[in-house]
Amino acid sequence: MNHKGKLYYTISEVAKQLNITKSVIRYWENEFSFIRPHRNSRGERKFTAETIRELRIVHHLIKEKGFTISGAKKELESNKEYHLKLEKTIEALETAKMGLQLLLEKLD
């Protein structure tokens, strides 16, 4: 998801990007104290790029690495900065990849 130009994303948009259900996002919000989306006047969750980044880290640990909730909590208590830097690096590489793909399309 391109985080440039858009400040807030709905829970549906985030769920689609991460390929998980909205209920999983709500559950993780209850389990991980640092996941705190903004809420509008109607109480709807609005996710910033930073909150999405945090969700992607949790998603990676639980869905891809096989951590339990408690295991992911422990990992993030001791290594959250590492995971944030890693996620930012991955985002930068994805952006560069998209740019290179666009350049290749123009060359064809």
Range of the domain at 20: 11-107
Residue 2 in this model has a pLDDT that exceeds 80 = no
Q: pTM for the complete prediction?
A: 0.76
Q: Does a structural domain hold residue 2?
A: no
Q: What is the pLDDT of residues 31-76, one digit of tens each?
A: 999 999 999 999 999 999 999 999 999 999 999 999 999 999 999 9
**4 found inside a domain:** no
User: What's the structural domain count of the chain?
Assistant: 1
Say what the pLDDT of residue 5 is: 65
CA distance linking residue 80 with residue 33, whole number of Å: 13
Q: Decide if 52 contacts 1 (C-beta within 8 A).
A: yes
